[in-house]
Amino acid sequence: MNDLIVHLEAQVASGKRLLEIVLAQGEAIRIQDVSGLVARLGDVQQELLTRRQLELERDRLIHAAAGRLAATPDTVDLDAMLVGASPIAAEQARTLGVQLRDLMAEVARVHSSNRVLIRQELTFVDHLLRVLSGVPQAGYSPAGWATRQAPVTSVDARG
């Protein structure tokens, strides 16, 4: 049982690090800190390597529990792994499991928000490059559908 608790604690710690990283990514995107964003992407890659190891450990624990319970690994969940555990250990494992689930949901939410922010930034940069280069971009004109956008010959950057 101790292996399961230690594993869940490691999963929670990794989840917290991942959340910190994606929050820092979001901040880097908002302040347009490209080098900071690139550094956080490296941090994500490193944490994903850690998570891959944790998933291998999780699979080992599940297979061991399946062997003890004479069940198939795909039917083993946390409650099945807690069969025969002390009430205190079972409660601790369940608490860690809930904490991990909540952390991963928050990581997914922040990551999704970051994707929207980066998409907006890239769209804005694309628009600026098209305006500055005079590359045609289809759209509406006062006379209806415009197949070409008139090139811009000056930009007011005093904003």
Nearest one of 49, 104, 56, 100 to 78, comparing CA atoms: 100
Residue 47 falls within a domain, yes or no? yes
Q: What is the pLDDT of residues 17-30, one digit of tens each?
A: 999 999 999 999 99
Give the contacts of 11 (CB within 8 A, at least 6 positions apart): 54, 58, 96, 100
Q: Does residue 6 form part of some domain? A: yes
CATH number assigned to the domain comprising residue 17: 1.20.58
Which residue has tokens 């490059």? 129
Instruction: Assess if residue 97 is contained within a domain.
Output: yes
What is the domain range of residue 20? 2-137
Q: Is residue 17 in a domain?
A: yes
29-33 own/partner pairs: CB under 8 Å, 24+ apart: 29/114, 29/117, 29/118, 29/121, 30/117, 32/121
Domain assignment present for 101: yes
- 154 inside domain: no
Answer yes or no: is 105 within a domain: yes
Taking the C-alpha atoms of residue 90 and residue 95, their distance in angstroms, rounded to an integer, is 9
Per-residue pLDDT at 8 exceeds 70: yes
Mean pLDDT, rounded, of the chain: 87
For the chain, how many structural domains are there in total?
Answer: 1
In this prediction the pTM is: 0.76
The verdict on residue 149 lying in a domain is no
Give the residue with greater pLDDT, 128 vs 64: 64
